[in-house]
A = this chain, B = another copy of it.
Amino acid sequence: MTVNRRCIIRLSRYKNALVRLKNLGFVKVFSDNLADAAGVNSAQVRKDFSIFGLTGNKRGGYRVDELLEELNRILGKDRVQEAVIAGVGNIGAALLQYNGFEKEGIKIRAGFEIDPSKFRERPGVSVLSLEKMGGYIRSNGIEIGIIAVPDFAAQQVLEIMVNSGIRGVLNFAPIRLRSSSSCIINSVNLVAELENVIYFTRIADKNFEDNESQNT
């Protein structure tokens, strides 16, 4: 009944499924279809919706476009969400270059580095000195940060972010970050995800539930 991480991840999945259904020309959808697309039970879908007051029609299911609009609103897509990245190495650069964020209403405004060879000032997405990060976040009112620096630098980067106004962080460094409660932190540890695959592959047991992303 409460909204938790997994619930929101499921909403993202429902949303993705709805976008595809819409592109295929579907007008209505049943909880069954969404359940199937998201890999859950249909009662779960209806229950998730009931938390947010999303209702359908007895027998008629849900209208794809209405539902999609509501999910988008819940997921914060009613306005562009701006973010910055610290660390423009392998992962950071991959995220900066990814063009899929744009159509999800997520805009990465700038990257920040300590390695000057990675700097590049230009329209669109600049990569600037880490020293400029705090000021940039503050003057642009950015609330979302992505941490893609080596583990030993992550906590320090987080602190700069939080002190400058960042309220939510997606972290790729394989370390537990500590922050004040004013900032929520979601960490994605890709090595752990692979270790997970390896473990369940080895025991070849189907005790496995899909990660919820995913993500988690």
Could you say which of A42-50, A99-107, A110-118 contacts chain B? A99-107
Interface contacts beyond A9-B192, A76-B199, A167-B204: sample of 14 additional A-B pairs, CB < 8 Å, sorted by A:
A8-B199, A12-B191, A16-B192, A39-B176, A75-B198, A104-B191, A106-B191, A144-B197, A167-B201, A168-B198, A184-B197, A190-B213, A192-B214, A214-B216
Closest to A145 in B: B197
Q: How far is the CA of A51 from the CA of B196 in the complex (A)?
A: 16
Question: Which range contains the number of A residues in contact with the other chain?
Answer: 35 or more
Inter-chain contacts of A90 with B (CB < 8 A) = 93-95, 97-98
Question: In the complex this chain forms, how many copies of it are found?
Answer: 2
> Given A75-B198, A190-B188, A198-B144: A3 and B213 within 8 A (CB)?
no
Using a CB–CB cutoff of 8 Å, the interface residues on chain A facing chain B are 2-5, 8-9, 11-13, 16, 37-39, 74-76, 81, 83, 90-91, 93-95, 97-98, 100-101, 104, 106, 143-144, 146, 167-170, 174-176, 181, 184-204, 206-216
